């Protein structure tokens, strides 16, 4: 049974008997919002959590400072104190749809703020590189070697497998077309040029974006959630030096080696198809592959890979550092790191290809 009494600016709620959540508390928000609430227990035989929910819904507009408890069961009082600990907030109305011009303006402002934030982050990274050159960057060499081991040797298997399959697919597709002209021997040239010029770099970049870029974003984002980034800032340690710089260095060092491995495995994959399925002699395949290998193509591919490594590291660390402070934000940051890294790699591929064509490389 529940009895409500009003005494001046105080509302006394007397609770007694069996309390199972079926009770109705006849009070309105206006009656209790600016008053003190006193919850008094008298001969309570039993209660359950449904009743606690009913009681909370009746007085949820009241701040915890205005609620006092008297002679309540220990468990009930603890649950009520916990329920009233966080101030109640009315449900927010869904955002209204903006007129078209206002929407364009708001989108433009958000875009400008994002560009500014990204530019500032890149400038911080360049400053960290400058401090590293003069020996003033603050990070542990042990962290660098651990990160290098993760994005280098531990990536060899997946890069080899994917590159082998890409070379195999290139050989299949190329041979089907070249067989029409009786020129399937030139599949070796097609695979070699394609892998060394661009495909090895692109496939390695995509793999590293999904594997290493996501790892960077998740690791640093989790540190943001655990307030470890705030601790670094409090101790006067640059987050860019301590977290971003070793990750960029590790990727820039490992990408050329992984691209070399990718090129070799792609050519081996093409050899597998040509020798086993198209009856091309192994010696002939090797001959045409060696004749089609140009150092210029290989260096162009390596340069693409270095640019891709920088993009992956920047995207992963940027979204990790700017992550929110809950688990959902870490997932969002990880997804954004991978998506933005792949998009920017494709954009830079187009730009670098146009530059190479213009220079005749």
Chain segment 266-321, per-residue pLDDT in tens: 999 999 888 888 888 889 889 989 998 889 999 999 999 999 999 999 999 999 99
Chain segment 200-256, per-residue pLDDT in tens: 999 999 999 998 999 999 999 999 888 888 888 888 888 888 889 999 999 999 999
Q: How many CA atoms within 13 Å lie on the side-chain side of 349?
A: 19
CB atoms within 10 A of CB 93: 6
DSSP state of 94: P
Query: Which residues constitute the domain of residue 198?
Result: 139-359
Question: Which of 48, 83, 118 represents a domain boundary (last residue)?
Answer: 83
Same domain, 208 and 294: yes
By the 10 Å C-beta count (0-12 exposed, 13-18 middle, 19+ buried), 348 is classed as: middle
pLDDT at 86: 66
pLDDT at 250: 92
Residue 336 within a domain: yes
Residue 133 within a domain: no
Percent of the chain with pLDDT over 70: 96
pLDDT at 88: 56
Write out the H or E segment, with its range, that includes residue 98: none
Same domain, 335 and 189: yes
Same domain, 226 and 354: yes
Same domain, 149 and 298: yes
pLDDT at 202: 92
Task: Give CA–CA dist 91/73, Å, rounded.
Answer: 31
Task: Give CA–CA dist 78/55, Å, rounded.
Answer: 13
Do 308 and 204 meet the contact criterion of CB atoms below 8 Å apart?
yes
Residue 264 within a domain: yes
Cα 264 to Cα 24, 26, 210, distances in angstroms: 76, 79, 22
What the block records as the tokens of 130 is 């400058």
Same domain, 145 and 79: no
Residue 115 within a domain: no
DSSP state of 35: S
Do 273 and 171 meet the contact criterion of CB atoms below 8 Å apart?
yes
- CATH number of residue 71's parent domain: 3.30.750
Same domain, 148 and 70: no
Residue carrying structure tokens 């599949």 = 187
Question: Which of 51, 83, 115 represents a domain boundary (last residue)?
Answer: 83
Residue 69 within a domain: yes
Residue 325 within a domain: yes
**29 pLDDT band (50/70/90 cuts)?**
low
Chain segment 77-100, per-residue pLDDT in tens: 888 888 777 665 555 556 677 788
Same domain, 192 and 60: no
pLDDT of 30 strictly over 80: no
Chain segment 99-158, per-residue pLDDT in tens: 888 889 888 998 899 899 889 999 989 898 888 888 888 888 888 899 999 888 899 999
pTM of structure: 0.71
Same domain, 156 and 68: no
Residue 123 within a domain: no
Question: Which of 60, 83, 106 represents a domain boundary (last residue)?
Answer: 83
How many domains is the chain built from?
2
Same domain, 144 and 244: yes
């Amino acid at each position: 049974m529940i009895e409500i009494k009003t005494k001046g600016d105080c509302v006394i709620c007397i609770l007694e008997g069996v309390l199972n959540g079926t009770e109705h508390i006849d009070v309105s928000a206006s009656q209790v919002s600016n008053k003190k609430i006193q919850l008094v227990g008298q001969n309570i035989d039993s209660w359950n959590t449904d009743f606690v929910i009913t009681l909370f819904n009746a007085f949820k507009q009241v701040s915890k400072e205005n609620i006092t408890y008297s002679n309540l069961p220990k468990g009930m009082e603890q649950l009520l104190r916990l329920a009233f600990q966080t101030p109640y907030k009315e449900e927010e109305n869904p955002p209204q749809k903006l007129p078209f011009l206002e929407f364009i303006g708001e989108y433009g402002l958000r875009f400008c703020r994002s560009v500014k934030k990204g530019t500032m982050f890149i400038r911080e990274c360049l400053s960290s590189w400058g401090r590293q050159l003069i020996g003033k960057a603050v990070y542990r060499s042990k962290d660098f070697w651990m990160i290098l081991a993760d994005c280098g040797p531990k990536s060899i298997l997946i890069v080899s497998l994917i590159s082998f399959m890409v070379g195999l697919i290139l050989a299949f597709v190329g041979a089907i077309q070249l067989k029409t002209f009786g020129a399937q021997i030139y599949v070796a040239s097609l695979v070699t040029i394609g892998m060394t010029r661009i495909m090895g770099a692109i496939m390695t970049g995509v793999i590293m974006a999904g594997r290493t870029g996501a790892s960077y974003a998740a690791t640093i984002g989790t540190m943001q959630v655990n307030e470890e980034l705030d601790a670094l800032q409090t101790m006067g340690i640059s987050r860019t030096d301590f977290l971003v710089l070793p990750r960029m260095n590790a990727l820039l060092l490992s990408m050329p080696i992984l691209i070399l491995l990718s090129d070799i495995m792609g050519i081996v994959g093409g050899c597998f198809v040509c020798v086993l399925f198209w009856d091309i002699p192994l010696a002939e395949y090797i001959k045409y592959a060696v004749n089609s290998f140009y150092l210029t193509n290989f260096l162009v591919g390596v340069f693409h890979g270095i640019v891709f490594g920088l993009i992956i590291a920047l995207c992963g660390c940027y979204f990790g550092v700017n992550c929110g402070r809950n688990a959902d934000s870490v997932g969002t940051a990880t997804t954004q790191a991978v998506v933005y890294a792949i998009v920017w790699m494709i954009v830079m591929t187009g730009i670098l290809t146009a530059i190479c064509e213009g220079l005749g490389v």
